[in-house]
Structure 1
């Protein structure tokens, strides 16, 4: 199997990230693995995807870190969608905001070309195009979501602030990782206008119900094919705990990862969102849960699978690759009969 991963950039991808872990798991199973930076995508005159990429072969490594460091040192080579079996879109568009705006939509645009060339593309690129901002989250049942408005109107946001008894979260419609997320309450109400202005400069503002359970952090749970990812009775999940008074619990924003237990409540939330995720071809996603509500569904490049590996002393990456292998088998058996969106979550 020839499997390619799209990442943001070779220089910023760290060897201990989830994507290198998935690549290493595939490499150990004998597959040809390629890593493609968003800026290395191209469209060839013959009508197919053509990319510069980095790959390595015929070497043994003791860890994903040594493996990916070796990949990063390799010279660029070229591969086309005519040769690939699978293209896994693992870049984060939010990391490109204000830095490389042209790169935000590139992966799923080129991913659609690869899909038309017969490549299995994960997650389904057409659905990712509709999920590039947090509005995608609002299409899930209201019972799983905090009360939310999305607006640029100061009066509307301030009225929502009053309805929420002067305590709410403000954040941008587009972005992730805890960037520009603010807790507004009576103490900083005098900064409300200024905060709305700051977020609105880059687009729409999300005003969201504050969940008191957020003081304990949030829980990241991985779903694969719409189901919680489980190995030997252990689940790929973690509690991300705030290490200060900062409301953000994202690991790269300073949150501390701790082990977490699967609960009936978490399973119920996963079951509620499963139908839409399966319908949309969202193969591997991360749910961020606070109390009995979902705060976010990360469908682009959910991180932390590597942390779960270490935390529970289990290999959660290999089952992901095994699932992809089955999809490639199904695709071969059914030729062009199964749509990419359906194959993605089989």
Structure 2
């Protein structure tokens, strides 16, 4: 099986990324691995879709740093191949990272991913589903029971009124974004910083204001779903608590959050079950839920991270389970001679 990992750029990848863990797991299971980036597609006049794939020598790398160094160094080679020679394209880019400096690149994965799927590659998450999730409005399509009270607006008057109605405080963040960038907590509508925060965040477009959940002080739970179901092995769930740094609202790992083991309760499983039908309908193969109490703060469908942290805690590399699931999808695709849709294959 040849697996292509689509990333924002090879230069911006890091050894501790989940994409690195997934690529190493694929390589360890005997598969060919390559990386592709937004500028690497070529649609030729004969309608063939080509990709400029970056590869490294096959073999066992002693650790993630060595594997990462190989892709960044002279051992990496680039070859142009027909996408029909690729079994799986794993879309692992974060569109928000390109939205400012390279807006043309933000949704290339979904655009060309659809073309690759039409030519026989299995593309996950399903590119048509990802096109629906280009910003946090996607979250509003899930049941109200699992969502915090939410306002989406560019009106500071609307936001002040919303804050006044939510006595426990409000979290404000941009409609498009990730990694905890420009996330603020406002306690009252008279907060002296509100105007400044509004100007900073609204410069990126629409704002989301969500009722603050006091349980978030202890952090949120990153909980992985695969094929719409909790990712679990031997009774251990692919999950961990993201604990915010002292004085910090955000629990994102990029914002100095730390990872702790967490017990998965029936309430958490019930929340996951509530969102399962839509995730399957949209072809979302691998998803990270950010859960506080009985609510979901975000549904990460592009680049959910945390697999290396989970492996360090539990000595279980869930990357292996994810690659094994892709192997099964490839076998099903071959057995059905391409008659199954990519969206159906994505969550089987």
Task: Tell me the TM-score normalized by structure 1.
Answer: 0.96
| Alignment match, 1:201 | 203
Which of 284, 290, 297 in structure 1 is aligned with 2:299?
297
CA distance in 1, matches of 2:92, 2:14: 13
Do the aligned partners of 2:164 and 2:188 also contact (CA within 8 Å) in 1? no
Do the aligned partners of 2:168 and 2:211 also contact (CA within 8 Å) in 1? no
Q: Which runs of 5+ in 1 are unaligned?
A: none
CA distance in 1, matches of 2:324, 2:59: 21
Do the aligned partners of 1:120 and 1:328 also contact (CA within 8 Å) in 2? yes
Aligned length: 346
Which of 317, 320, 325 in structure 1 is aligned with 2:319?
317
Q: What are the equivalent positions in structure 2 for 1:134-213 lying under 5 Å apart?
A: 134-165=136-167, 167-186=169-188, 189-213=191-215
Do the aligned partners of 2:163 and 2:189 also contact (CA within 8 Å) in 1? no
| Alignment match, 2:308 | 306
Q: What are the equivalent positions in structure 2 for 1:188-337 lying under 5 Å apart?
A: 189-337=191-339
The Cα shift of 1:203 comes to: 0.8
CA distance in 2, matches of 1:309, 1:54: 27
Do the aligned partners of 1:166 and 1:184 also contact (CA within 8 Å) in 2? no
The Cα shift of 1:195 comes to: 1.9
The Cα shift of 1:166 comes to: 6.8
| Alignment match, 1:33 | 33
- Structure 2 residue matching 1:59: 3-state secondary structure: coil
Question: Could you give the per-residue CA deviations for residues 179-201 of structure 1, whole angstroms, max 9, x where no partner exists?
Answer: 01110113971222332222222
The Cα shift of 1:96 comes to: 1.5
| Alignment match, 2:15 | 15
Give me the CA root mean square deviation: 1.4
Tell whether 2:58 aligns with 1:62: no
Do the aligned partners of 1:3 and 1:88 also contact (CA within 8 Å) in 2? yes
Do the aligned partners of 1:48 and 1:113 also contact (CA within 8 Å) in 2? no
| Alignment match, 1:343 | 345
CA distance in 2, matches of 1:221, 1:267: 10
Which of 90, 93, 100 in structure 1 is aligned with 2:92?
90
Tell whether 2:52 aligns with 1:52: yes
CA distance in 2, matches of 1:201, 1:187: 20
Q: Which moved more, 1:321-330 or 1:192-201?
A: 192-201
| Alignment match, 2:121 | 119
CA distance in 2, matches of 1:319, 1:221: 15
CA distance in 2, matches of 1:105, 1:279: 20
CA distance in 2, matches of 1:293, 1:160: 19
The Cα shift of 1:66 comes to: 1.7
CA distance in 1, matches of 2:60, 2:168: 58
CA distance in 2, matches of 1:127, 1:325: 21
CA distance in 2, matches of 1:277, 1:235: 19
Closer, same or farther: CA 186–151 of 1 in aligned 2, 3 Å: closer
Question: Could you give the per-residue CA deviations for residues 80-115 of structure 1, whole angstroms, max 9, x where no partner exists?
Answer: 212111111001111113222221111111111101
CA distance in 2, matches of 1:247, 1:328: 42
- Structure 1 residue matching 2:123: 3-state secondary structure: strand
Do the aligned partners of 1:9 and 1:39 also contact (CA within 8 Å) in 2? no
Q: Which runs of 5+ in 2 are unaligned?
A: none
Closer, same or farther: CA 141–187 of 1 in aligned 2, 3 Å: closer
Task: Tell me the TM-score normalized by structure 2.
Answer: 0.96
